Amino acid sequence: MSKYRNELPQLAGGLFLSDAGLETDIIFNKGVEIREFAAHTLLPDPAGREVLLTFDLLNKLPFWCRCCYV
């Protein structure tokens, strides 16, 4: 059994923000092919790094969540 299973941050009752959809957004909305569906494969290429730098996480969050962090 995992040592910290009962102490995960998302179980504390507060807001918990995690990234989801980065690769999906880049592939389907930006039209960029990603090897093995892994965003880190874009890092060696300058154009790939630019795609990652322009990923707009704030606009991907629900409105109520943006209100809490802006």
- Give residue 31's pLDDT: 93
pTM flag (> 0.75)? no
Domain boundaries, the chain: 20-69
- Give residue 5's pLDDT: 73
Confidence check: pLDDT of 41 > 60? yes
- Give residue 24's pLDDT: 86
Residues 57, 19 contacting (CB under 8 angstroms): yes
Confidence check: pLDDT of 7 > 50? yes
Higher pLDDT among residues 20 and 44, named by residue? 44
